[in-house]
Structure 1
Amino acid sequence: MMVLVVAVVGLILAAVLALWPLSKEGEPGEKARGRAPVTPVRGHSEPTTLEGILAGQLVRGEITQRQYLRALENLAARDEERHPLILRWDDRPGAWS
């Protein structure tokens, strides 16, 4: 019985520590959102593609998930207009081989 109590208390403490805000003092925006600021890793360059920049903004909380998905939809539509996927007749689904 005592082992069960210790295990439950340990799990509760682990959950509380995992969900505890890790933001620094003096950064009210980050603290209000409950997220730790993302710092670049040494030796890694900034993203060079628009998809990478958007992903970074999403992780930092600068844009919402809805804004991120809308931007990716627009990128896919623009890519489809610029570089359409053209299939040969033999490659189309249901074509006779």
Structure 2
Amino acid sequence: MFYLIAAVAAIILVSVLAAWAFPSAGIDDAHATAGTGKAAKRPDGEPVRKPESLEGVLVAQLVAGTISPVQYRRAVERIAARDEERHPLTVPPENGPAAA
């Protein structure tokens, strides 16, 4: 039991140290500075990443206050309708009970 507790504690310690040593490992500075001469920064000093999807762009606009919540919902509804039209959900046919 002692070895199990020691192993779990060691894994947690290594995870915390890795996260503490590399806090901005997931941020890609090349995308944050594209088209500008300097790095875009948030108030806390972290670089700003550009959204990678249409939904990400909409959320960024909603958070920034460029669009209202109603406009956001309408845009997401249009995205969902377009996605349903392009990739309709097909349900496989029922074959009946499995033969044992």
Bigger helix share? 1
The TM-score normalised by the length of structure 1 is 0.50
The TM-score normalised by the length of structure 2 is 0.49
